[in-house]
Amino acid sequence: MSIRTILEIDGRQGEGGGQILRSSLTLSAATGRPFRIRHIRGGRRKSGLLRQHLTAARAAARVCDARLEGDVLGSTELTFEPQSCQAGHYELQVGSAGSCLLVLQTVLPILIRLESPSTLSLEGGTHNPSAPPFESIVESLIPVLSSAGAKISLSLERPGFFPAGGGRVSVSIDPASAPRPIDLLERGSQLSQDACIAIAHIGDHVAEREWNVVRKELGWSDSALRVHRFESSLGPGNALSLILRHEHVTEVVSAIGTRHVSAERVAHQAVDQARRYLAASAPVGEHLADQLMLPLALLAGGRFRTLSPSLHTRTNAMVIEGFLGEGRIRIEDEPGDACRIEVEGI
């Protein structure tokens, strides 16, 4: 057992989901501080490690040569003792429709801080109901991280829809040689909007029905429609992403088609999210705020305005401060449905 003090983490705290584990893995690898987490996903109906969480733990362990205990499906306790982190090529397979992009978000903040480039080949879900889809990562998160000094490129080789999974994403990461703080307090002028509809092994009428709702409810012209038909997908699937591009930031809101849910309902889910964002003044959406805090804390920090923070966001801030010290994340409520988040980088 290492003589380093092990940080004890309760997986039931806050929103009690998998983000507590993923953030802990990232922060432990980056700081060298070991941790033990009990009651993994204790706030969920079915607690314990699912395949995507297990893959994330093993991926982080490979990157930093960590000693793992408890890394089995269904485990509610895990111990992680990191050593030195190494750049390289990593092939990471979820082995189910679980999100490979959540696995990416676990190892990405570690790899962008290293002195040598890395490449990743990820397999699993790319369009999941409970995780950011590929379009959100590539259109919204990566450009902001680029502003912070990271150099990342992603390509979707094959989509992975629930429940078949089997998606494949390639990632190239160059060192963030000169990290800089970000300042995202305003959106700037609106530049464009796109409705990207992904369909695989289902009729075109699904895309047509979703687009009819978007066009009617948001008043967008037909030039905004982008339909992507994926014949390479291992199973049927559908995802609708509304991409709202502004001068300083791009927001992506998404809805995933599932069995027994009509195309119209899927479209209304995305439209409702888009309306909430457009009606607010904050440039950073709720999900992007979640995704930004940890990599900014491990780079040069920054500040941004976002919608009122969710319990998920506040829990993530709590985990970050558990590893890096109190006061690293400052959340200040603003009038209306907004707040300002300031992140102190290391």
Q: Is 312 a catalytic residue?
A: yes
User: In this predicted structure, what is the pLDDT of residue 1?
Assistant: 37
227, 220 Cβ separation under 8 angstroms: no
- For residue 132, give every residue at least 6 positions away whose Cβ sits within 8 Å of its Cβ, in sequence order, or none: 99, 101, 102, 141, 252, 254, 287, 291
- Integer Cα distance of 38 and 35 in angstroms: 10
User: In this predicted structure, what is the pLDDT of residue 3?
Assistant: 53
Token pair in block for residue 220: 């967008």
**Burial class of residue 254 in the structure, from the number of CB atoms within 10 Å of its CB (0-12 exposed, 13-18 middle, 19+ buried):** buried
User: In this predicted structure, what is the pLDDT of residue 185?
Assistant: 95
Q: What is the tens place of the pLDDT at every residue in 272-311?
A: 999 999 999 899 998 999 999 999 999 999 999 999 888 9
- Integer Cα distance of 18 and 272 in angstroms: 26
User: In this predicted structure, what is the pLDDT of residue 62?
Assistant: 97
* Helix boundaries (H) for the chain: 18-31, 51-64, 100-111, 134-136, 142-147, 204-218, 263-279, 286-298, 311-324
User: In this predicted structure, what is the pLDDT of residue 285?
Assistant: 94
- Integer Cα distance of 313 and 240 in angstroms: 24
User: In this predicted structure, what is the pLDDT of residue 246?
Assistant: 97
297, 345 Cβ separation under 8 angstroms: yes
Residue 239: beta bridge partners? 198, 256
Residues in the chain: 346
Which residues of the chain, if any, have pLDDT below 70? 1-3
Of 39, 201, 228, 312, the active-site residue reads 312
Q: What is the tens place of the pLDDT at every residue in 15-26?
A: 999 999 999 999
**Burial class of residue 74 in the structure, from the number of CB atoms within 10 Å of its CB (0-12 exposed, 13-18 middle, 19+ buried):** exposed
The DSSP-derived string for 223-285 is GGEEEEE-TT-SS-EEEEEEEEEESS-EEEEEEEE-TT--HHHHHHHHHHHHHHHHHS--SB-
